[in-house]
Structure formats: C-alpha cells, structure tokens
Amino acid sequence: MMGKSMKIKTVFLIQVLFFFFLPSINCTLIKNTPPDYIFLITLDTTRADHIDYSLKENSLTPHLAELASEGSYFSNAYSLIPITLPSHLSMFYSLPPHILKVYNNGEPNLCPLPSLEKILKNNGYATGAVISLGSVSRRWGIGKDFDSFIENFRKSYIWYKTAEQVNEDAFAFIKEFEKKKSFFWIHYSDPHEPYFPPYYKGNFSVSLNGEKIFVSDSIERALVKLELTLKPGKNTVTLETEIPEMLQKDKRLKINYHEFKDFSIIPEPETKDMEIIYPDEWKKSVFGKRIKFTTKKPHSVIELQNKSDHNMKVNLKFIQRMLPTVSSMKILYKQEVTYMDKHLGELIDYLKKNKMYKNSAFVIIGDHGEGLGEYRGHIGHIDYLNKIFVKVPLIICGKNIKKSRGRKRVVSCLDIAPTILDIAQIKRPDFMKGNSLLRSLKKEKLLLETYAPEARGNAFSIIDFPYQIIIYPYRDKGKVELIDLEKDEQGLQNIINSPDVGSELKAGLLRMVQEKAEELANQRKKKPKLSEEDEEILRSLGYIK
C-alpha cells in the first residue's frame, strides 16, 4: 500500500514539474523584474529580404543586425494584411482585420476591446507614440489610449516624416518619460513611396507670370493647393522640377517621368471666360472625374487665357511627384532602408547615452512588404498577398530576452501584443488571438487578407507552412496560386499545376481558402465616406488611386 502511494505521489510530482517547466521549453524570456522601458518599433513598408543580419561587412542594415544578435529574429514573420492601418491595429489588439472591421486605410477603429497601450497604461506604464505617416494618424482611432501621441508633420502639404524627424520628436518625449515605467511606439516609414532618401536635394516650384508662389522639395509627394489671381489676357503657370544633383551624378539612377495627379484648374465662381492651353508634351489620363498628366520634361508652362476684363480667381490643385525608373526604384528603396537603419541606430545610441538601453526591451517589426516590379510589374503593396508583399522583418531583444538568433517558426503581427505583455509580465486578455514570441510556439496556419476598394479586389490566403495558397476571386485567369515558401524566395512561382505537390494537399488548401474567401467577402460592408481632408491625406500618400 505504501509503495502504491509513493508511486502516485511520484507521478503527480513529475506532472506538476512538467507543467511548471513547460513554458520554459525553448523560452527566450528570463524571469526577472520587467524592463522599465518597452519599445515597439514598426518599420513601415519594409521587406524581410532587404534586412541583412550579418555582423560583418554589413552596409545595408548593420544596426538591425546588431539588435538581432542580442536577441532573436524570426525568418518567417508575416503581416496579415498589406495595408498600413489595419496591419498596425492587428498588432495593438492581436486581432485580424476582419474581426476589427477595419479593412482599408481611412476606416475608423471602433473596437471596444482594450488596446495594448490601454492595458499597459492600466498597469502603471506611461505611454507615448511618434508616427511618420498620415495613414496611422490618431484621427482613424489608432493609438487613442496613448498619453502622448505625436504626429507633428512638418509641412501642411505632406503627411509623412523622415526617420530623422521621427527621432527629433521621439527624443523629446523619451526624455520626458525617462524616470517613469514606459511603453513607446516609434513608427518609421522611410521605405514607403516615393522612395527618395532626404539627402537628395532639389526644389519643385510653381510660378504665376514669372513669380514663384509655391516651393517644395522635388522628392516630396506634395499636395499643391493654390488660389491664383489671373489678370485679363494671357497668364502663365510654370511648373519646375529640379532633379537633385546627387541623383544626376549616379549613372544607375534615372527619372522616368514627372506626374501631376488629380489635376484641376477651376475658376471661382465657374465661368466660360477662361481657356487653358496645356503643354503639347503632356500626356493625359482620365480616371472617372479625375485627371492625371505626365511628362518627360522637368519644365512645363501652362497658358491660362482670362477672356474677361477683370481679375479672375482660380483654384489650382494637384499632387506632384517625380517617378524614377523601376530599376532606379530598387536602388532607392535599399537606400531608404539603410537610411532608416542609420537613424534607428541613433535612437539606440541616445538610449545608451541616457543610461536607458540596458533597462529596455525592443520588439521591431515591419507592417508589410513592398513590390518593386517583380510581380506583375506592380509597384506598391496593397493589392497582392504574395511573399514580397506580406513577409516582414521581426526582431525581439533587450532586458530579460535570451539570445537565440534566427527562429524559423511561422509568426505574425497577431503575436506582437501578447509578446509585449509577456515582457511586462502582464496577463494576456483572452480575446487576443496571437501568442507570445517568448514562449514555445506551435505550428499554426495563418489567414491573410486584402480588400477593395483600396486593393483592386478582395483577395485571401492561407499559409500552412511550407505552402501558401492565395485566391484572387476577381481575376479571369490565375485566380488561385500555390507557393512553396521554403523554395521560392519572393513567392512568385505558382505551382498549383505542379505534379510534385499532392492532389489531396492542394484540394484541402483550396477548400480552406475558398471557404474563407466566401465567408469574409460577405462580411465586408461599404467603405465609410471620407471627408475631403481625409481623402486628400490618403490620396497624397498614394492609397487612393
């Protein structure tokens, strides 16, 4: 009897010990007092294949490599949606876009559940954020619970900031919070279009009858809104784009054409007494009520004839941008990634100088990737779910996080909030769908999605590693793509008809993605109507075609 009792106690003790130590298997969290400072750093529009983790001879991303060497980087991390606002919201709530009901940029976040920053705030953390793109402005309901939320766009006609400007704002509030237990969100977006790093210097100007009335940087995607006073008779509006000297000297870089999007010249009040004579070399494209002009020439003169005998008020409006060739874009995109990495390094140096670094933890992740012409010639990120558009860099490091270098398990934006709460030693709410990256990770399937009208059509995907199946329901041909994520570096080769993949496997994946596509497409309600200002912000950033 005694022997049986001892056996039961021994088995029970083994079970208890197994349960107690289970979370520590492959665990990268060291149990200790949590760090005073937790940083979520999001790298907008940053492709995973443009991060170099080498510690020697690394001219691309040496500072990200150094951070990864002090913790872990995840070689199979994915965004659930290649659209900035819903992707970031999925990080803060650990919920996918179709549950949050935010499908495109410019849609309000009405989620009643507590966000990551609110949970941290309720647990004694001061919270601060600095963003660099208008698409994650607080006006959309993201970051509504931060104590401090800095947008501070430097100019009234653009809604993005450089990494240097982000750091200027970040250093100010980090200094303010340095004696408090704090959570910081810092958002860099330099790799986002128009791709020119800010060290390319040149001006774009608008002149009326020889007098300059507007000047911006030629590399900016400026929204130009001007009220002109036309004298009776002939008037000239001159648009002058200065090609940066540094760009001209680099033989690899070329400007393809100059674009004036959503172009309009409207008299106030409207009248037939004005005639517009556009330059002969301008090429006109019409999209519904919207007009776009393109030209190869950096200097253009528009003639406006005021046929009345009095001065006339005219509203001129357009979005200006200078478009490089695709091969040039690829070079410039890499330069933007390196520029962003440089300023991330300056952020780390600032924390070290102020004796904050050793008491900090970092979660660094991209919100989506970017196409640079590899897939169907597409430049951008919203329309497609192939690997280059959705695979992102992800690094965790800092206080209490063990060094473990590269980890291959498939993870996603859903895992960000649970990881940060684990770092802070705060219990994760039951509603969160993701897992802490500091714990053992099970193999899980991922559901990816993107939606019209911002995308050219709804599309859905399931990743069941190593395979990804994508369905583009709106296509006449090539509706379904099957990708081998292990063998295909960029996710471009469709192997749906390959005999090397079992028919049962293909049928199962196809059935899953078709069921999800039907279910989610029916949930999507009509996109909310945007205000004129909201629409201007999103158009200037290229989110509305």
Q: For residue range 136-170, list pLDDT tens digits in order.
A: 999 999 999 999 999 999 888 889 999 999 999 99
* Residues of the chain above pLDDT 70, percent: 94
Q: Supply 181's token pair.
A: 């237990």
Distance CA 460, CA 480 (A): 10
**CA 191/CA 511 separation, integer angstroms:** 36
Contact 451, 101 (CB under 8 A): no
Dist CA 89 CA 143 (whole Å)? 9
User: What is the mean pLDDT of the segment spanning 232-248?
Assistant: 97
Cβ atoms within 10 Å, residue 395: 24
- Of the pLDDT bands very low, low, confident and very high (cuts 50, 70, 90), residue 539 is confident
Checking if the pLDDT of 120 tops 50, the result is yes
What's the DSSP call for residue 180?
S
Distance CA 417, CA 185 (A): 12
Q: Domain ranges in the chain? A: 31-195+327-442, 203-243+255-324, 462-523
**354 or 543: whose pLDDT is higher?**
354
Q: Where is 184: in which H helix or E strand?
A: strand 182-188
pLDDT at position 381 = 95
Strand order in 312-324's β-sheet? Answer: 223-230, 312-324, 255-267, 290-295, 283-287
Architecture of the 31-195+327-442 domain: 3-Layer(aba) Sandwich (3.40)
- Token couple for 218: 């030629």
Residues 329-361, buried b or exposed e (16+ Cβ, 10 A)?
bbbbbbbbbbbbbbbbbbbbebbeeeebbeebb
Cα-Cα-Cα-Cα torsion 361, 164, 391, 247, nearest 10 degrees, comes to -150
What is the arrangement of strands in the sheet containing 391-392, beginning at the earlier edge strand? 391-392, 77-78, 411-412
Q: What is the pLDDT of residue 30?
A: 67
Q: Percent helix, strand and coil across the chain, each rounded to 5?
A: 30, 30, 45
Alpha-carbon gap, residue 476 to 75, rounded angstroms: 34
H or E segment and range at residue 342: helix 326-353
Residues 6+ apart with CB under 8 A from 109: 85, 89, 100, 102, 140, 141, 142, 144
Average pLDDT over residues 112-117: 97
- Confidence label for 232 from pLDDT (cuts 50, 70 and 90): very high
What pLDDT is recorded for position 522?
A: 79
- Kindly provide the residue ranges of all beta strands, DSSP E only, lying in 268-366, ordered along the sequence: 274-277, 283-287, 290-295, 299-306, 312-324, 360-366
Is the pLDDT assigned to residue 351 strictly greater than 90? yes
Selection from 361, 329, 365 nearest residue 191 by Cα:
329
- pLDDT tens sequence across 48-97: 999 999 999 999 999 999 999 999 999 999 999 999 999 999 999 999 99
β partners of residue 207? 212, 238
C-alpha torsion angle, residues 280, 282, 286, 291 (rounded to 10) = -110
Q: Which of 27-41, 132-146, 168-182, 382-396 has the lowest mean pLDDT?
A: 27-41
Closest CA to 415 of 433, 400, 399: 433
* Residue type, position 395, single letter: I
Task: Say if residues 468 and 80 touch (Cβ distance below 8 Å).
Answer: no
- pLDDT, residue 525, reads 67
- The region of weakest confidence among 29-38, 44-53, 191-200, 480-489 is 29-38
Q: What does the alpha-carbon distance between residue 475 and residue 491 come to, in Å, rounded to a whole number?
A: 18
Write down the pLDDT at residue 8: 38
Confidence of residue 17 (pLDDT cuts 50, 70, 90): very low
Residue 412 has pLDDT above 80, yes or no: yes
3-state secondary structure of 313: strand
Q: Is the pLDDT of residue 25 over 60?
A: no
* Mean pLDDT value across residues 451-460: 94
Beta carbons within 10 angstroms of residue 369's beta carbon? 28
Length of the chain in residues, anyone?
Answer: 545
Q: Which strands, in side-by-side order, build the sheet including 446-450? A: 446-450, 459-464, 467-471, 480-484
Closest CA to 398 of 25, 52, 34, 17: 34
Q: What is the mean pLDDT of residues 285-295?
A: 93
Q: Of 76-90, 269-283, 442-456, which one has max mean pLDDT?
A: 76-90
Report the alpha-carbon distance of residue 8 to residue 177 in Å, rounded: 54
Report, as an integer, the average pLDDT of 289-318: 96
Does residue 315 contact residue 266 with C-beta atoms inside 8 Å?
A: yes
pLDDT-derived band of residue 29, with 50, 70 and 90 as boundaries? low
Provide the β-strand partners of residue 240. Answer: 205, 299
Domain 203-243+255-324 has CATH 3.30.200: no
Show the tokens assigned to 311.
């001065």
Confidence grade of residue 406 (pLDDT, cut at 50, 70, 90): confident
- For residue 324, the one-letter residue type is P
Confidence of residue 537 (pLDDT cuts 50, 70, 90): confident
User: pTM of the predicted model, to two decimals?
Assistant: 0.92
Please give the single-letter amino acid code of residue 156.
S
pLDDT band for 14, please (50, 70, 90 cuts).
very low
DSSP-derived letter for residue 31 is: P
Q: Which residues contact residue 352 at a Cβ distance below 8 angstroms, ignoring those fewer than 6 apart? A: none
**CA geometry: angle at 489 spanning 462 and 135, to 5°?**
65
